Amino acid sequence: MEVALGIAGLALAAPTVVKTCFNLVDALMQKVEKNKSLRSHAERLKAFEIKTGRSKLKQDMKLGEAILKDPTVEQNDKACLEAVFDDAMKTLKEMDVTVDTILQNCDNFLSRKRRVALAKFTEQSRALDTTTNRFHDIVISQTLVQISESNNNVSLLKDFDFTIIGPLEDWKPLNKSAFIHKGRLTRSLKDIPAGTGEFVIESRAYKAATRDWVKTNLRFLAQRLAAAQLAEGILPLVGCREDSVRQEFQLAFCANSYAASAQTLQLLYCEKKTLPTLNFRLGLCANLAEAILHVHTLGLVHKNIRPENVLIASNDNCESNKVFLLGWKYARKAFDAPTVREGEPSTERKIYQHPHRQVEIADEDYCMGHDIYSLGVCMLEILAWAPLISSTEAGETSFNEDFKSGFKNRGLAKDKDEVNPAWLKGQHPRNVQRVLQDMAADKLPYLAGTRMAEVVASCLGCLESEEGRGGDANFRGRNPKEVGADFVDSVLKHTRSVAGAI
């Protein structure tokens, strides 16, 4: 108990915080190993045992210390970080007391005190898992803000820096503008080692009249993405290069650990026909939400969040799936960016866009709330494991039966059996939004629980109210740090909380 008592009141910025924290963890794990019942209840403590998990926690704590010492970080943000850290330390201390109670009553298997303590230990393990994840999210978000606000200039990659190896036929397509290919990096870049490896290449074509504009935008994007090496959900950026023969600029991302297993969510829907476990679906939702959080923290809007731009991959050393975003070519800074407000004409894409964007020329600039609406549509599909739209073998567009039924239920059918195809294709965008909200309310409570249904509904309605998690004003005119904190405290926090309770 000495270590546990010694951590009371320990500040994150204290010089011995990392050592003291892990001394407590080690002492706690030794006690847990003494009791078979505790081992089966302590799955969420394994992150403290595994070398990679412990390294991640140490890194988070050191980054947290740096944030607290940074005079440019607002006091409210520092206070939030310290509060989450204090919650984690308090939970560790309480777990130590609970373990002592269990060990003191281990001889009496039917003891009520032992049963209550075991239940409390399970609840505390879940709370610790949720709190450490939230601490990680806040630390990474604040670190990304600091890095992305620096004036680092990113130069175009030259052929002697990075070369694509092999013929065109060797490319592994991921979607219409992204592929995996073997390449060679001649010098190390940050944490990306020199040598031959697998890279994700995303292209954006240009014409002679648009070349300079495309180049300027992609260099800015590359500068922001280069700051995201610590971020989950964004592949490490190698750089931006030009292919003058194909008249396109290309963003190159390192994909060495994930190339063999990488596939889009769109393809995964086709391959995995049966409903996956709720843990699997919640994990995808949480990882996707975290990726979008980091995009917004970098001061960017993605503008292209849909299944074909969500890359699912598994690392050789990791059992769980990773989620990475593709489709960066139209991403731009979130505020004060030059834009022609061009809407989305394609049926396959605009079904994931807010009604504001499903017009030829939008009345308002694209904002973070539009990304969050797209997240809500994707989460609805993931939790129901039913894509809204797909292509048949003949290349025709096919709509989800529940989606079509939603129009019928709202009286938006020509007759009892037939829905006007124009409505399905977004002729009246507000009707599409209302049908999706109905689907979230009707289908998700028994597929994923009431709380997740509410989370999805909040995303789908985020631009319709000035109140709550959403609100048009909440996504315009605010700095990325504030939006990021709100996002962590809402969608991501609730999703992880539900996952942790299973």
pLDDT at 335: 66
Residues 233, 139 share a domain: no
In a domain, 279, yes or no: yes
**Sequence-distant (≥ 6) Cβ neighbours of residue 241 within 8 angstroms:** 156, 157, 158, 162, 249, 250, 252
Residues 483, 465 share a domain: yes
CA dihedral 156, 193, 221, 175 (to 10 degrees): 100
**Sequence-distant (≥ 6) Cβ neighbours of residue 443 within 8 angstroms:** 384, 402
* Tokens read off for 14: 């204290």
Residues 129, 169 share a domain: no
Q: Is 311 helix (H, G, I), strand (E, B) or coil?
A: strand
H/E segment holding residue 323:
strand 321-325
Q: Where are the alpha helices (DSSP H) in 34-149?
A: 36-41, 46-49, 51-69, 75-104, 112-148
Q: What is the CATH number of the domain that holds 180?
A: 3.30.200
CB 121 within 8 A of CB 97: no
CA dihedral 132, 133, 137, 143 (to 10 degrees): 40
Write the pLDDT tens digit of every residue in 83-108.
888 888 888 888 888 888 877 777 66
pLDDT at 1: 37
How far apart CA 4 and CA 31 sit, in angstroms, is: 13
How far apart CA 156 and CA 154 sit, in angstroms, is: 7
State the DSSP string of 202-255.
EEEE--TTTHHHHHHHHHHHHHHHHTTTT-TTSPPEEEEEEETTTTEEEEEEE-
In a domain, 153, yes or no: no
How far apart CA 490 and CA 497 sit, in angstroms, is: 10
Write the pLDDT tens digit of every residue in 190-213.
778 888 889 999 988 989 998 988
Residues 274, 248 share a domain: no
How far apart CA 492 and CA 287 sit, in angstroms, is: 9
Cα distances (Å, whole numbers) of residue 331 to 106, 275, 366, 383, 391: 57, 32, 10, 26, 26
Residues 247, 291 share a domain: no
pLDDT at 92: 80
Residues 364, 305 share a domain: yes
pLDDT at 406: 83
pLDDT at 386: 92
Q: What is the pTM of this model?
A: 0.78
Note down the domain range covering 207: 162-254
pLDDT at 15: 53
* Tokens read off for 381: 């599909």
In a domain, 369, yes or no: yes
- Spans in the chain with pLDDT lower than 70: 1-20, 22, 34-55, 107-109, 145-155, 168-169, 229-230, 314-320, 335-347, 359-363, 392-395, 412-427, 465-489, 501-502
In a domain, 155, yes or no: no
Domain boundary among 148, 170, 196: 148
In a domain, 157, yes or no: no
pLDDT at 384: 95
Amino acid, single-letter form, for residue 220: F
Residues 184, 131 share a domain: no
SS in 3 state form for 103-125? HHCCCCCCCHHHHHHHHHHHHHH
Domain boundary among 148, 179, 205: 148
Number of C-beta neighbours around residue 181 at 10 A: 19
pLDDT at 288: 93
Buried b (16+ CB within 10 A) or exposed e, 193-232: eeeebbbbbbbbebeeeeeeebbebbbbbbbbbbbbbbbb
CB 363 within 8 A of CB 400: no
Q: Is 428 left (phi over 0), alpha (psi -120 to 50) or beta?
A: beta
In a domain, 470, yes or no: yes
In a domain, 8, yes or no: yes
| Start-to-end CA span in the chain (Å) | 30
H/E segment holding residue 332:
strand 332-333
pLDDT at 404: 82
**Sequence-distant (≥ 6) Cβ neighbours of residue 323 within 8 angstroms:** 232, 233, 284, 287, 288, 290, 291, 310, 311, 312
Cα distances (Å, whole numbers) of residue 47 to 27, 132, 133, 321: 15, 10, 11, 16
Residues 40, 89 share a domain: yes
In a domain, 340, yes or no: yes
Residues 305, 221 share a domain: no
Residues 41, 123 share a domain: yes
* Tokens read off for 398: 């096919």
**What's the helix, strand, coil split of the chain in %, to 5?**
55, 15, 35
How far apart CA 178 and CA 164 sit, in angstroms, is: 14
pLDDT at 327: 92
Q: What is the CATH number of the domain that holds 488?
A: 1.10.510.10
Domain count, the chain: 3
Residues 276, 174 share a domain: no
Residues 195, 231 share a domain: yes
* Selection from 229, 213, 212, 237 nearest residue 326 by Cα: 237
Domain boundary among 123, 148, 173: 148
Strands (E), 340-484: 389-391, 397-399
Number of C-beta neighbours around residue 441 at 10 A: 15
